Structure 1
Amino acid sequence: MSAVAPTPLRSPRRIVCLTEEPTETLYALGEDHRIVGISGFTVRPPRARKEKPKVSAFTSAKIDEIMKLAPDLAIGFSDIQADIAAELVRRGVEVWISNHRSVDGILDYVRRLGALVGASARAESYADGLQRGLDEVAARAATLSRRPRVYFEEWDDPPITGIRWVSELVGIAGGDDVFPEHAAEPLAKQRILADAGEVVRRAPDIIIGSWCGKKFRPDRVAARPGWDAIPAVRDGELHEVKSPLILQPGPAALTDGVQALAGIVHGWAARRDGGAAERGSRSQL
């Protein structure tokens, strides 16, 4: 008897992306034709908002609208979307909820998503390119004469410190996160600062705000009680990185996000080194 060839596995053809990172990744891999619905928070790539129906927020979704799209896979992120995932599963939709929280996790996510849609080679190449870009940023950071201490705030009321991939990207860009122990915590509620005065005590040289969904207000940060003693506040080193660039665990964070961080860090270093040179020249007069 001749062996029966196994039936090849079929990649999902109708994907609903409940967050932005699968949308950006699938477009980058040339697999955007599989996407039938996206998150309303999606901004990358810009054309996705014009081409795909928006069927979810981050903590809610239009379940009936999603079902009308007849998806064979929905992709989301983290425990925050657990209720959406559970409802879709009850409706018979296959769901993949990723839970990566690190730079390596993002790179692995790109590779896994590529494999899922039959684009392993392209995904490997794309992930390798992302890694090379990070290596270049790190090599440039190695030339800094001093690494600044950085406080990254992803929400203001209550203050929430940066998640792990953000902390790692701060390090790649040339800075040192002043709350590395918080970055190891996966849940936002575990990264709430019980005492905002701890930021004063840790004395960051740079403060970076990325308040998810609203504009960073450096004037409000500087006006917090006691914060005028922080070097970053004293020197006017309060900066914003737009949340779509850094707070989604996908390609944006590893490209434009880390580049924005590096620009802030190197700008600080140039101002600091320039000021030191000026003070030195004045002392010789």
Structure 2
Amino acid sequence: MGPRRIICLTEEPTETLYLLGEEERIVGISGFTVRPVQARRDKPKVSAFISAKIDRILDLKPDFAIGFSDIQADIAAELVRSGIEVWIANHRSVEGILDYVLRLGGLVGRGEAARRLVDEWRRRLDACAGRAAVRGLRPRVYFEEWDEPRISGIRWVAELVRIAGGDDIFPELAAEPLAKGRILADDSKIIERRPQIVIGSWCGKKFRPEQVAARPGWEQLPAVRDGELHEVKSPLILQPGPAALTDGLDALEQLIAGWAQRRPK
């Protein structure tokens, strides 16, 4: 049932299909894929995020390609012109991720398995929120997707921060679907909102807490003063798929719970 030869232009469909036991359908993956590790080892890498090896993809004779967001619109258009059916998902929230998994499961005839995964993740989300409620203390969190220019966290990240027990300091920007809508012109608003935790997840680049601490004016921030400058690796949190709802959420909870434990009694 459904497509038999799938190109995954981003990581989240790859990880989802492996979790559903349908990895044999995958004939090509994104070069940025790190989850699961066997996918990176076993599957041909045919794309980056904004570019793809179209000839290589066509050589693999896919009957379907799955990508994410407007950023992959040009890749999608070229594949469509080449006769390949394409699904570009555009989910930006936790509920959107859950719905995406259900839709992908239905597409490959594994709807019930997808439902079980989603039910399990809902229980994880609820349990995490319950532990946060017991802690009570909710730090102000600045999540930074990129450093130059400063880009704050996308919607599903802000939602996961809240579930894990923190409050994203830019909820109004999290609602912006495109990265350009979350660019901060300068640091004044960050300084004004006085984050108690700074989390960096610079896609493709190592987070440098010493560079963050040295930014002009940042010495007055509670997060800098208390040494609460942390990294969550981008593959765990910036892919709108299973990783964010599992290991990504766990990483956020660990940081926020650790912060709460270090507060004066």
Q: TM-score, normalised by structure 1?
A: 0.92
Number of aligned residue pairs: 265
In the alignment, which residue of structure 2 is the partner of 1:197?
A: 188
Q: Which runs of 4+ in 1 moved over 6 A?
A: none
Equivalent of residue 156 in structure 2, options 155, 158, 165: 165
Equivalent of residue 262 in structure 1, options 253, 257, 260: 253
Post-superposition offset of 1:179: 0.3
1:244-259 mapped onto 2 (5 Å cutoff):
244-259=235-250
Q: Deviations over 1:220-272 (max 9, x none)?
A: 11111100011000110000000000000000000000100000000000001
Q: Deviations over 1:160-181 (max 9, x none)?
A: 0000000000000000000000
Q: Aligned equivalents of 2:44 and 2:174: distance in 1?
A: 34
In the alignment, which residue of structure 2 is the partner of 1:11?
A: 2
In the alignment, which residue of structure 1 is the partner of 2:123?
A: 132
Q: CA RMSD in A?
A: 0.6
Alignment partner of 1:230 is 2:213: no
Which has the higher Rg, Structure 1 or Structure 2?
1
1:25-174 mapped onto 2 (5 Å cutoff):
25-174=16-165
User: Match for 2:250: what amino acid?
Assistant: Q
Q: Deviations over 1:19-58 (max 9, x none)?
A: 0000000000001010000000001100001110000000
Alignment partner of 1:184 is 2:170: no
Q: Deviations over 1:98-151 (max 9, x none)?
A: 000000000000000000001101011111111111111111111113100000
**Taking every aligned residue pair, what percent have the same amino acid on both sides?**
72
Q: Aligned equivalents of 2:226 and 2:41: distance in 1?
A: 42
> Which runs of 5 or more structure 2 residues have no equivalent in the other structure?
none
- Paired residue secondary structure (2:67): strand
Q: Aligned equivalents of 2:2 and 2:249: distance in 1?
A: 32
- Paired residue secondary structure (2:61): coil
Q: TM-score, normalised by structure 2?
A: 0.99
User: Match for 1:83: what amino acid?
Assistant: D
